[in-house]
Structure 1
Amino acid sequence: MPAWGITILIVLAVYAGISIAIYYLQEYFLFKPEKLPRDFQFFYENQQVDEYNLETHDDAVVNGLHFKTSQPKGVVLYLKGNSKSIKGWGKFAVDFTRHGYDVIMFDYRGFGKSTGRRSQKGIQQDLQMIYNEVKKKVEEKYIILYGRSLGSGFATKLASVNNPRMLILESPYYSLKKVAAQFVPFMPLSLALRFPLPTYKWIRYVKCPIFIIHGTNDRLIPLASSVKLSQINPDRTRLYTVIGGGHKNLNNFPPYHKMLEEIIHYKEAPINLEGSSYQKDHKQ
Structure 2
Amino acid sequence: MSDIRHQTSDIRHQTSDIMKIPRWLKIIVLIYALVGILFYSFQQKILFQPVVVAADSSYQFDQPYEDIWIPVDQSAKTHIVHFTVPDSLRKGLVLYFHGNRGNVRRYRRFVSKFTQHGYAVWMPDYPGFGKSTGELTEAALYEQALQVYKRARQFYAPQDIIIYGKSMGTGVAVQLASVRDCKKLILETPYNSMRSLVGIYLWMYPLKSILQFQFPSDEYMKKVTAPVSIFHGTDDGVIPYSNAVKLRKLLKPGDEFITIENGTHRNLNTFPLMQQKLDSLLK
Q: TM-score range by the shorter chain?
A: 0.7 to 0.9
CA contact (8 A) 1:73 1:142 kept: yes
SS in 1 for 2:111: helix
Aligned counterpart, 1:101: 119
Give the secondary structure class of the aligned counterpart of 2:151. Answer: helix
SS at match of 1:205: coil
The CA deviation string for residues 68-116 of structure 1, in whole angstroms up to 9 with x for no partner, is 1112100000000000110121121111001110000011011111111
Q: How far off is 1:10 after superposition?
A: 6.5
Match of 1:32 among 49, 60, 66: 49
Question: Following the alignment from structure 1 to structure 2, what is the Cα–Cα distance between the partners of residues 223 and 42?
Answer: 34
Matched residues, number: 264
- Tell me, yes or no, if the aligned pair for 1:208 and 1:236 is still in contact at 8 Å: no
Match of 1:111 in 2: 129
Give the TM-score of the pair, scaled to structure 1.
0.88
3-state SS in 2 of match to 1:239: strand
User: Would the alpha carbon gap of residues 230 and 58 (structure 1) be closer, same or farther in structure 2, given more than 3 Å must change?
Assistant: farther
Aligned to 1:52: 68
Gaps of 5+ in 2: 1-14
Q: Find the counterpart in structure 2 of residue 177 from structure 1.
A: 195
Residues 95-141 of structure 1, C-alpha deviation per residue, up to 9 Å, x if partnerless?
A: 10011100000110111111111100011111101100001111011
The yes-or-no answer on 1:197 pairing with 2:215 is yes
Structure 1 Cα separation of the partners of residues 20 and 119 of structure 2: 66
> Distance between the aligned counterparts of 1:206 and 1:21, measured in 2?
36
Aligned identity (percent) is: 32
Larger radius of gyration: 2
Q: Which runs of structure 2 are paired with 1:1-284 in the superposition (5 Å)?
A: 1=15, 2=17, 3-5=19-21, 12=29, 14-45=31-62, 47-57=63-73, 59-70=75-86, 71-265=89-283
Q: SS at 2:60's partner residue?
A: coil
TM-score normalised over the length of structure 2:
0.88
Change (3 A) 1:58 1:222: farther
Aligned counterpart, 2:4: none
The two structures, once aligned, show a CA RMSD in angstroms of 1.7
Question: What displacement does 1:4 show?
Answer: 3.5
Give 5+ residue unaligned stretches, structure 1.
266-284
Q: Which moved more, 1:226-235 or 1:12-21?
A: 12-21
In structure 2, how many angstroms separate the alpha carbons of the residues matched to 1:80 and 1:256? 18
**CA distance in structure 2 between the partners assigned to 1:87 and 1:148 by the alignment:** 15
- Say if 1:175 and 1:196, in contact at 8 Å, map to a contact too: yes
Query: Which range is displaced more, 49-58 or 188-197?
Result: 49-58
CA–CA separation in structure 2 for the residues paired with 1:126 and 1:224: 30
